[in-house]
Chains A and B, each alone.
Chain A
Amino acid sequence: MEHSGKIKKDAMILCDHVSKSFVNGNETAEVLKDITLSVEENEFVVILGPGQCGKTTLVNILAGLERASGGEVTVNGKKVTDPEPERGVVYQKTALFPWLTVEGNVGFGPKMAGVPKKERKERTKHYIELVGLSGFEKSYPIKLSGGMRQRVGIARAYCNNPSVLLMDEPFGHLDAQTRYLMQEEVERIWSQDKRTVIFVTNNIEEAVYLADRIVLLSNCPTTVRNEFKIDLQRPRDNMSSEFLRLREEIGRHVEMTR
């Protein structure tokens, strides 16, 4: 089940020998080193990285917010140079706008895109419903729990109708119970409304639960170590023997990357 090193040139997202280093005075910190990976349309790829190094940078490069120092990223054959609405991002900490209501946050993307008010309202309503927050349309983020805020974050990314969703450790700050719940939610939402997802996490169980394929990264400078195809049926049971076996096996590989 290991697939390391196999790159399909016709994949939807292609990350081709991407590297990134930051220059700080005389020192050069290499953060990403020769990262090559591909993602198929509507595939759920989990990027599993143990360390604190480079994962957000990788997401930002995929989003077009940062430029790679070497290599390039293409989506549907087009080189990524700037952020674009077709790639939605869900961030680690609640990146909701505190001065906007749930409705205002979810509808922000379509508003920027100039979607007419009536259609915007319908879309906003649909995605608030999809993430299970009906009744909270007029609430401000400060009144919401951590899990609810991340639901808003997901709805906000979805509402702009992106073909690619980038999720940067979206549940990193949630308590364990809420985290399980949100994993189920993401799986449910994605099954109902499929998109190409790149989901970054440092949690092995989360990776096995969600991924079609796991890309295992090494720590600092970050590079691709291994890939694992996860063929378990969805929704997955994280107590089944097959699940536990995979989790243990990937866990062993993670140990080796440290």
Chain B
Amino acid sequence: MKEKKLKYTLISVASIAAFLSVWYLVTDVFHIFPSSTFPSPVKVAQAFIRKLTVKTPDGGTLATHLAASLKVALYGYLLGIGIGVPLGILMGWFRKVDLIVKPIFDLVRPIPPVGWIPLMILWLGIGMRAKATVIFVSAVTPSIINAYTGIKQTNSVHIWVARTFGAKSLETLIKVGIPSALPMIFAGLKVSLGASWMALVAAEMLASTEGLGYMIQMNRMVGKADNIMVGMITIGLVGAMLTWILEKLENKLVKGGRTK
């Protein structure tokens, strides 16, 4: 068991090492691409370290951009799931809520979150609120859909069991509906997180004065590809890290496997 784990770790490390080597070979060794638009991994690493302290050309260090992005993202995300999950649960359980909310939801849902950006700029300017609203829109949709589907898929025999034990509708929802929908709800939280993070970068590229998306956009204007890559890599790493945290939380909260 332990040997197998070591083997898998080695394969993962080798895969990343191979990727970096190829990158290094096509840039610094064979110079297939011009280094100004396609910098080598060494250059990107240097830019990364430099960006930790230097504010030019985009007006902030990596940490300030990251902090700005995280703040907006978490704000919109938490608001999105805070409203989306309960709404999805209520829609899934109570037919009346479903009938009232579903038509509006079905009409609004196909609009991509980024499509909200122009209107939000018009209404709320290019500050925190406009971006948080766009992220809210991206986070709320998957949360609703997954919570709704999870509740709808509650095993009817489980509901019978609760009812024969004398549980009322609300009690059955809390003791049976929600626990059995929890794996599905968590899947929704993860999709929401990914969607939020992506929408954030898009929103920052269009309407911002700080943040990782803004940093990428500014460096495109001055043609600094190494800084663009630093921004992209940071977005990737932080996104993966947030998902990892959510998975840890899921493993703690979802008990007894994922079978129905």
Binding site for B on A (CB under 8 A): 60, 63-65, 83-85, 87-89, 91, 93, 95, 97-101, 108-109, 112-113, 140-142, 156, 160
Contact with B161, one of A89, A113, A141, A142 (Cβ below 8 angstroms) = A89
Q: Is the pair B157, A91 in contact by a Cβ cutoff of 8 Å?
A: yes
Nearest Cβ distance between residue A99 and chain B, in whole angstroms? 4
- The minimal Cβ–Cβ distance linking A36 to chain B, given in whole angstroms, is 24
Contact with A along B139-165 (1 / 0, CB 8 A): 000000000000000010110111111
Q: Are B256 and A112 in contact (CB under 8 A)?
A: no
Given contacts A65-B163, A112-B162, contact A98 B256 (CB under 8 A): yes
| A63 nearest CB neighbor, chain B only | B164
Whether the pair B158, A95 counts as a contact (CB closer than 8 A) is yes
Residue-wise, chain B 249-260 has the 8 Å CB interface mask toward A (1 for contact) of: 000001111011
CA gap between A64 and B164 in the complex, in Å: 8
Instruction: Tell which of A85, A87, A98 has the most Cβ of chain B within 10 Å.
Output: A98
Within 8 A of A (CB), among B202-260: 254-257, 259-260
Q: Is the CB of A142 within 8 A of B165?
A: no
Contacts of A93 on B, CB cut-off 8 Å? 157
CA distance in complex: A242, B162 (Å): 42
Mostly, the B contact residues are helix
- A85 to B163 CA separation, bound complex (whole angstroms): 8
Given contacts A89-B160, A112-B171, A142-B257, contact A99 B166 (CB under 8 A): no
A103–B257 alpha-carbon span in the complex (Å)? 17
Stretch touching chain A among B37-45, B90-98, B104-112, B174-182: B174-182
Give bound CA distance, A156 to B180, whole Å: 18
**B257/A98 in contact, CB under 8 A:** yes
5 tightest A-B CB contacts, nearest first: A140-B256, A142-B257, A95-B157, A109-B165, A112-B165
| Cα separation A199 to B257 with both chains bound (whole Å) | 31
A83-B256 in contact given A89-B161, A91-B160 (Cβ < 8 Å): no
Chain B proximity of A44: nearest CB distance (Å): 20
Q: Is the CB of B175 within 8 A of A112?
A: yes
The interface residues of chain A lying within 8 Å CB-to-CB of B162 are 108, 112
B167 within 8 A of A: yes
Name the distance in Å between A251's Cβ and chain B's nearest Cβ.
31
Q: How many A-B residue pairs have CB under 8 A?
A: 74
9 A-B pairs within 8 Å (CB atoms) are namely A83-B163, A84-B164, A89-B164, A95-B157, A95-B160, A98-B260, A100-B256, A142-B256, A160-B165
Q: For chain A, what secondary structure do more than half of its interface residues adopt (helix, strand, loop), or is it mixed?
A: loop
Chain B residues, Cβ within 8 Å of A98: 180, 256-257, 259-260
Q: A97-B180, A98-B260, A99-B254 are in contact. Are A91 and B161 (CB under 8 A)?
A: yes
B182 lies within 8 A of A113 (CB): no
- Partner of A85 from the list B157, B160, B165, B259 (CB cut-off 8 Å) is B165
Once A95-B158, A97-B158, A98-B256 are accepted as A-B contacts, the answer to whether A113 and B166 lie under 8 Å apart by CB is: yes
Q: Determine whether the beta carbon of B259 is less than 8 Å from that of A142.
A: yes
Q: Are A99 and B164 in contact (CB under 8 A)?
A: no
Alpha-carbon gap, A83 to B176, bound state (A)? 17
| Residue contact B164 to A83, C-beta cutoff 8 Å | yes
Residue pair B165, A140 in contact (C-beta under 8 Å)? no
What are the residues of chain A within 8 A of B161 when measuring CB–CB? 89, 91, 95, 97, 108, 156
Which residues B98-120 have CB closer than 8 A to chain A? none
A99 touches B256 (CB 8 A): yes
- List the B side residues contacting A85 at CB < 8 Å: 164-166
Q: Which residues of B contact A84 (CB under 8 A)?
A: 164, 166
Q: Report B-chain residues with C-beta under 8 Å of the C-beta of A91.
A: 157, 160-161
Please determine whether B259 and A112 come into contact, CB atoms closer than 8 angstroms.
no
CB-defined contacts of B182 to chain A, threshold 8 Å:
99
In the complex, which residues of chain B have a beta carbon less than 8 angstroms from the beta carbon of A99? 179-180, 182, 254-256
Partner of B165, one of A60, A108, A141: A108
Q: Chain A's nearest CB lies how many Å from the CB of B118?
A: 44
A142 CA to B161 CA, complexed, in Å: 18
> How far is A195 from B183 in the complex, measured between Cα atoms in Å?
38
For A97, what are the chain B residues with a Cβ–Cβ distance below 8 Å? 158, 161, 176, 179-180
Q: Closest approach, in angstroms, between the C-beta of A66 and any C-beta of chain B?
A: 10
- The distance in angstroms between the C-alpha atoms of A141 and B179, with both chains bound, is 15
* A141 with B256, Cβ < 8 A, contacts A83-B166, A108-B165 known: yes
- Contact, CB under 8 Å: A88 / B157: no
Closest residue of chain A to B171 (Cβ to Cβ) is: A112
Within 8 Å CB of B157, what residues of A? Answer: 91, 93, 95
A87 / chain B contacts, CB cutoff of 8 Å: 164
Alpha-carbon separation in the docked complex, A233 to B164 (Å): 33
Q: Specify which chain A residues have a CB less than 8 angstroms from the CB of B166 in the assembled complex.
A: 83-85, 109, 112-113
Complex CA–CA separation, A160 to B165 (angstroms):
8
